[in-house]
Amino acid sequence: MIGDSGNPYVVALVILAMALVAVAGYRWLPKADVQLALVDNCRLDQQAACAADLPGGGRIEVAVAPRPVATSQAFDFRADLAGIRPHSVEVAFTGVEMNMGVTRLPLQALGEGRYAGRITLPVCVTGGMLWQATVLIDADRRLLSVPFRFESRHG
Domains and CATH numbers, the chain: 34-153 (2.60.40.1930)
Instruction: For 66-76, give one letter per residue: b (16+ CB within 10 A) or e.
Output: eebbebeeebe
Report the range out of 41-50, 95-104, 108-117, 123-132 with the highest average pLDDT. 108-117
Give the pLDDT score at 101.
Answer: 86
pLDDT at 28: 54
* pLDDT at 75 > cutoff 90: yes
pLDDT digits (tens, 9 = 90+) for 2-33: 555 567 887 778 777 776 766 555 555 545 48
**Who wins on pLDDT, 46 or 116?**
116
pLDDT tens track for 27-55: 555 454 888 899 888 888 888 999 999 99
CA neighbours within 13 Å on the CB side: how many for 150?
27
- Closest-CA residue to 148 (of 47, 42, 60): 42
CB 136 within 8 A of CB 89: yes
CA distance 87 to 85: 7
Check whether the bond before 8 is cis (ω within 30° of 0): no
